[in-house]
Chains A and B, each alone.
Chain A
């Protein structure tokens, strides 16, 4: 087990290095001259050359990559061309909002998936409507779900807010739900939750279906298995049979699907944040792209890619914990 964790950590480090190299190369081959962008369109050739030298752009590629990596490891991802602040500072400001939305969405997706899988595998009466609605909603892309949700629940029913996080984001952790709980601020908590519901659902439904389907297949396989028959023959309670013997043995494929989906959600969040003007990484990215703010774009890419890699590594380790045969 320890060897497995060690091995997986090493593989993760290699993948992160590859990711950083890819981001660096993308930055280098993208059109536009960062030096010119700094000094402005009307600068003299001498000023541009000076900027070139200052930014180290006249050095060989390998050396530049080494410097880039060294700085990145120290939290320096360059200066945003748009905000003229360090990209790391920008990311630090926008990341909590994204993380809160994605994590909230992910938990929501897991709950929806569990309900989808259990109700289907155990044939709970009357739950076909739920599964049908979920599947129907899953046919629509996230931005359409978001817009539809705004039109229905904000426009017609006035039940939920339509945009933003509803609270001042300069709070200590940046997580509205956590902060309001820490301050025993029930109104703030409810407001934060109300703002999370629509974007959270829009982001959660497609992953919920993917995870739910895999889990359901696993549950049905485990349900028919010999060891579940053995568990029943022991005369232990049905709820114990369900959790300890059926659900736990259905988790292997479900875990990798959940990890995959969590990775996808960090990517998919960009569009949902744009629809709901959610002040997160995606919103930041959407602002940076039209301005060709390459340091910012590269920073976001590096961050989301890194999250994706780390999430998958954690899932692999969790899978090994769930099924000890994997580390033999």
Chain B
């Protein structure tokens, strides 16, 4: 957090050129320039530093990726650049931020509003909640353009079909992809110089995500605006960004050209992120690589590199001295690490497996030797929902339309599909939580479920100890034996016994999902039903939870049904994969075969849309 002798332009366009010699950033005056930015916020009564000295430039027409785990400060950085840090968080900010020629830290409220209206655009993560549900989308666009014709033009520019007709739609009448396009149209209003896209594709299906990424790149080409693209997924960043800045605990770990940075990371954290990313070529038979999970909460007192507790290359100096962000001689990038790049690339090469899909075709090690029985038998299963009766047109949703499926005892089956394909409904019917309209689903044995959102599936006012003991009490396990069982399951989950007296709200996301898993297996079920249990977690945390589920399956000889939208995860978790689309099972087979030789076009579409870092560097074509 060194002091920078920065010129502070007030009204003139930003001409701040920091101590950077990056070719791209200095080619023209940057659209956005951040120098020595520190931000601390009050959350739940505790003030903590969120950004701890950020230096960053965005060049005109550039797409800069901002990558990091949750809590790295990437959203706060974006909000600061927009002048939108919520006042309720009592922000304390130092440094300088110039966006589109305006001082975003000291400008008047009217100035900031004007620059947001005319020079900046924003696309937020969840288009369902980010659009006003009670206002027609046309009005939400004209609110910025002030002109209806312009709004229709913009809807056309973001490839919304029949734009004039769509103006009168309410957000809930549009699909997720269309909603996000409406957000993009709002962002484009006023022909901005910079669009901030904060995880714009995280809430979307992979195929829709691919289309939106293409759209963003096209918009950059057509309108010549810069894009700050925030994501937790390196592969998504790889699809469209020119440069990537990796953020860790409020500091830039490294910045570089995307193609180079992803192949030759120069910071151990980037190497770790790349290594823990699950792809279609991750080895199946061995434990998934994870980052060490002992990150420390950052406080004002932190002296050294925030990553040193998790870093395999850490030396004494890392704990006591903050490494500065320095130029990397030959690449034009910047990195903040005491160790030299060579040491990092050695680690990276050791972690990232070489070779294609075929090299890792070994089956999961857990399959029991030809188990006799069938654990789950689904025959001609149909399930319909009626939306609202009494008034308004009646809609019938066919969630399941004749599904036949067998899961053998001890087998692991992954069910894949886009949202709305019926995969979660299938799981709920198997679990007995939803009554089918027709057909049958027979489950032999006992079942437990693990849900996506561990936060809301754990009773908030019970302690973790109560939650676990409750299950044992229902199973009539004597109290004397119960304590031992609780200790065993906690140890298996890698949770300290101190969590027993803590309520779910005080745990981190990864810990909550482990507690949810512990609750599911403390009384060992014969069938474990998982509904996207890791979709909300960072890559490394997700990998560690997946490892746990695989271990539990092996130890308890459980049958596992694993629902996910991610084919890479499906391949790692299942002996077999069942692909669903529009309430039907379209393909079913050995997990590796499905991934390497898909027979159904819908499976191929899912596979093609999976963002990849390696392999052919093609951008998926939009299917308009």
**Which residues of A are in contact with B by a Cβ distance under 8 Å?**
3-4, 6-8, 225-227, 229-238, 240, 244-245, 248-249, 322-325, 327-328
- Which residue in A4, A226, A233, A248 is a CB contact (below 8 Å) of B116? A233
- Which residue in B143, B170, B388, B390 is a CB contact (below 8 Å) of A234? B143
- Which residue in A234, A244, A325 is a CB contact (below 8 Å) of B133? A325
A236 lies within 8 A of B172 (CB): no
A237 with B133: in contact, given A229-B124, A325-B170, A325-B172 (CB under 8 Å)?
no
**Docked pose: A238 CA to B117 CA in angstroms:** 13
Interface residues of B in 116-131 (CB under 8 A from A): 116-118, 120-122, 124, 126, 129-131
**Docked pose: A238 CA to B201 CA in angstroms:** 29
A-B CB pair tally, cutoff 8 Å: 84
- Which residue in B112, B129, B170 is a CB contact (below 8 Å) of A227? B129
**Docked pose: A229 CA to B390 CA in angstroms:** 35
Q: Taking CB as reference atom, which chain A residue is nearest B136? A: A324
Say if the beta carbon of B313 comes within 8 Å of chain A.
no
Say if the beta carbon of B159 comes within 8 Å of chain A.
no
Q: Interface centre among A231, A235, A238, A249, by most B CB within 10 Å?
A: A235
B84 lies within 8 A of A229 (CB): yes
Starting from the known contacts A225-B129, A245-B135, A328-B172, 20 additional A-B residue pairs (CB-CB under 8 Å) come to A4-B392, A7-B390, A8-B391, A226-B124, A226-B129, A229-B84, A229-B124, A232-B84, A233-B82, A233-B84, A233-B121, A233-B122, A234-B186, A235-B120, A236-B117, A244-B143, A245-B132, A248-B134, A324-B170, A325-B172
Say if the beta carbon of B114 comes within 8 Å of chain A.
yes
Inter-chain contacts of B612 with A (CB < 8 A): none
Q: Give the 4 A-B CB pairs with smallest separation, nearest first.
A: A235-B117, A235-B116, A233-B122, A7-B391
Inter-chain contacts of A324 with B (CB < 8 A): 134, 170
B134 lies within 8 A of A323 (CB): yes
A interface, over-half SS: helix
How far in angstroms is the closest Cβ of chain B from A26?
30
Interface residues of B in 169-196 (CB under 8 A from A): 170, 172, 183, 186, 189
Inter-chain contacts of B116 with A (CB < 8 A): 232-235
A235 lies within 8 A of B129 (CB): no
**Docked pose: A233 CA to B86 CA in angstroms:** 12
How far in angstroms is the closest Cβ of chain A from B78?
10
Q: Taking CB as reference atom, which chain B residue is nearest A228? A: B132
Say if the beta carbon of B387 comes within 8 Å of chain A.
yes
- Which residue in A235, A322, A325 is a CB contact (below 8 Å) of B114? A235
B391 lies within 8 A of A4 (CB): yes
Inter-chain contacts of A6 with B (CB < 8 A): 391
Say if the beta carbon of B113 comes within 8 Å of chain A.
yes
A323 with B133: in contact, given A235-B116, A235-B117 (CB under 8 Å)?
yes
Q: Interface centre among A6, A231, A248, by most B CB within 10 Å?
A: A231
A328 lies within 8 A of B387 (CB): yes
How far in angstroms is the closest Cβ of chain A from B395?
8
A322 lies within 8 A of B129 (CB): no
B124 lies within 8 A of A230 (CB): yes
